[in-house]
Amino acid sequence: MPDIIPGVPTPSSGDPKCVLSVCARIIAQVDCITYILQGTTACIDIQLFGADGKPLDLRRFKELQVLLFNDLECVVANFWWPSIPTGCRGFEMEILQYEDTAGDIINEGLIRICLDRTCTGISPGNIFAELRLVEDNSVTGAPSEEVFGIKCLQVAVIQESRIFNNGCDTGCSLLT
């Protein structure tokens, strides 16, 4: 069984091997693997933590990227924040972290990526995420920018859909 990180919530399945990615300084987790029927829409929330196991304050980053890929290492979708770079294809991700009127950080370290039906209309199989975070050295005071990466975090499974694969020209009907 894989190590469980102290202070990091354990997924409800109790088996973090597929939903927890551990690296030296940043940890990424999904609460559970999202099962998505081919040709439907879905959103995936990814929680980021520092090496101390506490939620990661996203205000310290100036760029985020999440690349989704399948078992064959084919790109499924790219997600960017704060915007999609010129010449790139993809979607903007949603940062769920915000500060309330009292100055408290809500949903610290939480991001959301949403797939449309064209993204999920691929062959069934596992979907993994690779993350890249670029630190804003004007916020951290570091002499140069740091770039963090997380290689492989399973986030979803695309399930085969009979409706998606069958179309509309088979089966019985009223018309002859």
Q: What is the pTM of this model?
A: 0.82
CB count in 10 Å sphere of residue 44:
23
Identify the helix (H) or strand (E) that includes residue 140. Answer: helix 137-140
Cβ atoms of 64 and 81 closer than 8 Å = yes
Stretches in the chain below the pLDDT threshold 50: 1-9, 11-18
Q: Which two tokens stand for residue 60?
A: 């310290």
Cβ atoms of 22 and 10 closer than 8 Å = no
The confidence score (pLDDT) of residue 164 equals 87
Cβ atoms of 65 and 132 closer than 8 Å = yes
Q: Which of 131, 126, 109 is nearest to 48 (CA)?
A: 109
Which class would CATH give 24-163? mainly beta
Q: How far apart are CA 123 and CA 121, in angstroms?
A: 7
Q: How far apart are CA 10 and CA 152, in angstroms?
A: 18
Q: Which amino acid is at 33?
A: I
Cβ atoms of 124 and 159 closer than 8 Å = yes
What does the DSSP assignment read for 139-162? HH--SS--EEEEEEEEEEEEEP-H
Q: What tens digit of pLDDT does each residue of 116-128 get?
A: 999 999 999 999 9
Q: How far apart are CA 39 and CA 149, in angstroms?
A: 30
